[in-house]
Amino acid sequence: MPTVTPFSLLGCRALITGASSGLGAEFARQLAPKASALWLVARRVELLQGLREELQATHPSLMIEVLVCDLCDPRARRELVEGLRQRACSINVLINNAGMGDYGSVATAQWSKLEAMMQLNMLAVVELSHGLMPLLEAHAPARILQVGSLAGSMPLPEFALYAASKGFVQQFSEALAIECCARGVGVTCLCPGPTATEFSRQAKREQGADTDRRGHGLLRQPPARVVALALEGMRRADPCVHPGLAVWLLSRVCRLLPVSLLRAVLRWRYQSH
Ligand SMILES: NC(=O)c1ccc[n+]([C@@H]2O[C@H](COP(=O)([O-])OP(=O)(O)OC[C@H]3O[C@@H](n4cnc5c(N)ncnc54)[C@H](OP(=O)(O)O)[C@@H]3O)[C@@H](O)[C@H]2O)c1
């Protein structure tokens, strides 16, 4: 079995999606002292520019480019990828971090939000991984970090499409890691538990109920710790990173439980909410 080429974050050149807030902004902050170039992608230009100014003030030699892109829009995505390829950008780290959720049942969801979630959480991840692979290979050793979720380890009623989309990311990432290993590109899937970011505010529907937070206290990790563990796992090309012992344990339990028992537990939890 070939092992992936060693990699150093020093001097790396990273494209981060969803860099305007939460984990994405934290990835930029933790990479800034080590990286030589960052491409920051999201929709909210003022937040991206603010982050660029903040990082540039302490790291004046760091090249930072702000790329405003709605990753739910297939045309905007294509233009982003083609633009980076035409300019032969020297990216050697791709962090597919942008993502969204929707709290509530499928039956009561707005189709436009479900569709946007599939575009962002799955299609954008695949399109950027595929479209930027030639750049990553050209600048190998290189790394891809896919931001999945602990939710990808189990079916989750009232969070069904989100959990399924993150299960997709996990499966895609594991297979891609094996495909890319011999080509000098390490692939890691980060599977965090609940983390304090803007995620919940965006996932909650207007006048909708909050998600079921029983047990979240055991799983929660600060964003800075999640990102530090993710970057270390990515550097080592670990196929999967579960930040925190409780997150790791729960993901293992979900995989090992007989499916009939898992269904019974999920049904009980759903009905007792
Ligand atoms: N927080 C958690 O509890 C948790 C747990 C497990 C996994 N995750 C995953 O972690 C990742 C980061 O989320 P977060 O927790 O940091 O949440 P967040 O603070 O809401 O950040 C989401 C990021 O995605 C960007 N984004 C959303 N829609 C976009 C679009 N259409 N086009 C381009 N960018 C878009 C947002 O930027 P703009 O709005 O400026 O576009 C923002 O920068 C997601 O993949 C999420 O699923 C989060």
- What is the average pLDDT across 232-237? 98
Ligand 1 site-directed mutation target among 199, 212, 219, most atoms within 8 Å of CB: 199
- What is the average pLDDT across 61-89? 98
Q: Is the shortest distance between the CB of 73 and ligand 1 below 6 Å? A: no
pLDDT at 209: 86
For 184-233, give the DSSP string: TEEEEEE---S-SSSHHHHHSPTTPPPP--TTHHHH---HHHHHHHHHHH
Task: Please check the confidence at residue 1 and state whether its pLDDT lies above 60.
Answer: no
Query: Quick one: how far is CA 15 from the chain centroid?
Result: 12
The Cα–Cα gap between 29 and 131 comes to: 26
Which atom of ligand 1 is closest in space to residue 194's alpha carbon? 3
Q: Is the shortest distance between the CB of 244 and ligand 1 below 6 Å? A: no
In the three-class reduction of DSSP (H, G, I as helix; E, B as strand; rest coil), residue 141 is classed as: coil
- The set of catalytic residues is 162
Q: Is the shortest distance between the CB of 44 and ligand 1 below 6 Å? A: yes
Q: How far is the CA of 260 from the centre of ligand 1 (A)?
A: 33
**Residue located nearest, by CA, to atom 20 of ligand 1:** 199
| pLDDT tens profile 182-223 | 999 999 999 999 999 999 999 999 988 888 888 898 999 999
Q: How far is the CA of 17 from the centre of ligand 1 (A)?
A: 9
Q: Is the shortest distance between the CB of 147 and ligand 1 below 6 Å? A: yes
Nearest to 11 by CA among 49, 48, 37: 37
Direct distance between the N- and C-terminal alpha carbons of the chain, in angstroms, rounded to an integer: 46
Task: Please check the confidence at residue 5 and state whether its pLDDT lies above 90.
Answer: no
- What is the average pLDDT across 211-239? 95
Task: Please check the confidence at residue 128 and state whether its pLDDT lies above 90.
Answer: yes
Cβ neighbours of 77 (radius 10 Å): 20
Q: Is the shortest distance between the CB of 98 and ligand 1 below 6 Å? A: yes
Domains of the chain are 13-271 (3.40.50.720)
The Cα–Cα gap between 196 and 13 comes to: 27
Specify the pairing of strand 13-17 against strand 240-241. Answer: unpaired
Choice between 21 and 209, residue whose per-residue pLDDT is larger: 21
Sheet of 185-190, strand order = 63-68, 37-42, 13-17, 93-96, 142-147, 185-190, 240-241
